[in-house]
């Protein structure tokens, strides 16, 4: 049996078995997500479920692959981001403190030579980043970490979207015979999928920042490892498109808040999932619709690796145009307080 299949099975089973114990632990230590004006749930629900996702991922990796220098760095950085998430789920860190923690976790990767050293130039040769590789890698990792964190607003949404993104990167890695990325993404997909049994509506436990930041961090870091083999095809284009839904939602939130004179980091109820609920969809319907959109984007990401550069650019432009008009139609760009 292929190692990536073993990793997936171990991750799914481990998270399925561990999550109930994490749920009990979260309840005992007071890691409960209380309802408020922005949130959809109406009763306190245990969070910190990301601890089960982390445990399943680590067990799957240890059981299915050799621990290379870079894989050790990946696990150390993932452990640090997990600790930051646990602290935040317990006592609500400030945005500044959380950001500094995310930067520290990204810097861990640099010490293990996990960095974006070049990017693809659609009009010529590769662009070697040299000293810019450090800030660009940090920006990439912190950006994707927060992107997944911000979409964690409905039962099962972040876990499902992360599963789809991980599976997309997995297929591209298999296509290019890059087994390290294949095993890592398979373990990550299995961990997120195993958690969905308890997290899908009605959720029995939330992953919290412990889980959403860990998933985002791992998707970013694993794809950076892919640059060694794929010259940034896996590292940049594929995860960006596969995570296009939360990335565009985050971008539209920044535009919305800026144009309406609101603080960019101030939460509101203008995100895509809020708008879908306001249009009359149930939580399950909204989440399933966003799964379908993410799945379509995942297929688009895979197609990008099969076509030439000009076609790739045209596909990306088409996706951006469709996303903009869809967001305008749904009302994601409008002030959440004026609706």
* Per-residue pLDDT tens digits for 52-95: 999 999 999 999 998 999 999 999 999 999 999 999 999 888 88
Residue 99 lies in a domain: yes
Residue 339 lies in a domain: no
Residue 32 lies in a domain: yes
Residue 29 lies in a domain: yes
Residue 336 lies in a domain: no
Q: Say whether pLDDT at 136 is over 80.
A: yes
Count of structural domains within the chain = 1
296-297-299-301 Cα dihedral, nearest 10 degrees: 170
Range of the domain at 158: 3-330
Residue 338 lies in a domain: no
Residue 171 lies in a domain: yes
Q: Which of 17-31, 197-211, 271-285, 290-304 has the lowest mean pLDDT?
A: 271-285
CB atoms < 10 A from the CB of 105, how many?
A: 26
Q: How far is CA 225 from CA 59, 157, 169, 232, in A?
A: 20, 26, 12, 9
Phi, psi (rounded to 5 degrees) for 98: -65, -40
Average pLDDT for 192-219:
94
Average pLDDT, the chain: 86
Q: Say whether pLDDT at 183 is over 60.
A: yes
Residue 62 lies in a domain: yes
Percent of the chain exceeding pLDDT 90 equals: 49
């Amino acid at each position: 049996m292929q190692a990536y299949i073993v990793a997936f099975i171990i991750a799914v089973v481990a998270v399925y078995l561990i999550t109930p114990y994490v749920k009990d632990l979260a309840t005992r230590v007071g890691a409960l997500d209380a309802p408020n004006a922005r949130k959809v749930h109406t009763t306190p629900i245990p969070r910190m479920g990301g601890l089960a996702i982390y445990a399943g991922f680590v067990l799957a990796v240890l059981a299915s692959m050799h621990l290379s220098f870079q894989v050790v760095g990946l696990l150390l950085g993932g452990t640090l981001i997990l600790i930051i998430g646990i602290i935040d789920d317990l006592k609500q860190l400030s945005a500044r403190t959380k950001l500094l923690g995310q930067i520290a976790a990204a810097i861990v990767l640099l010490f293990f030579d996990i960095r974006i050293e070049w990017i693809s130039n659609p009009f010529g040769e590769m662009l070697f980043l040299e000293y810019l590789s450090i800030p660009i890698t940090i920006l990439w990792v912190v950006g994707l970490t927060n992107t997944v964190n911000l979409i964690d607003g409905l039962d099962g949404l972040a876990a499902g979207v992360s599963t789809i993104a991980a599976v997309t990167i997995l297929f591209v890695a298999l296509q290019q015979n890059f087994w390290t990325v294949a095993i890592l993404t398979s373990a990550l997909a299995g961990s997120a999928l195993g958690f969905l049994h308890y997290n899908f509506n009605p959720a029995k436990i939330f992953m919290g920042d412990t889980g959403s930041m860990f998933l985002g961090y791992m998707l970013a870091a694993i794809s950076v490892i892919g640059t060694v083999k794929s010259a940034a095809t896996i590292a940049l284009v594929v995860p960006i498109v596969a995570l296009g839904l939360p990335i565009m939602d985050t971008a539209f939130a920044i535009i919305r808040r800026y144009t309406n004179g609101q603080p960019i980091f101030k939460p509101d109820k203008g995100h895509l999932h809020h708008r879908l609920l306001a249009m009359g969809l149930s939580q399950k319907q909204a989440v399933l619709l966003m799964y379908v959109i993410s799945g379509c984007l995942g297929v688009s990401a895979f197609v990008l690796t099969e076509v030439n550069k000009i076609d790739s650019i045209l596909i990306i432009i088409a996706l951006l145009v469709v996303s903009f008009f869809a967001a305008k139609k749904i009302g994601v760009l409008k002030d959440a307080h004026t609706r």
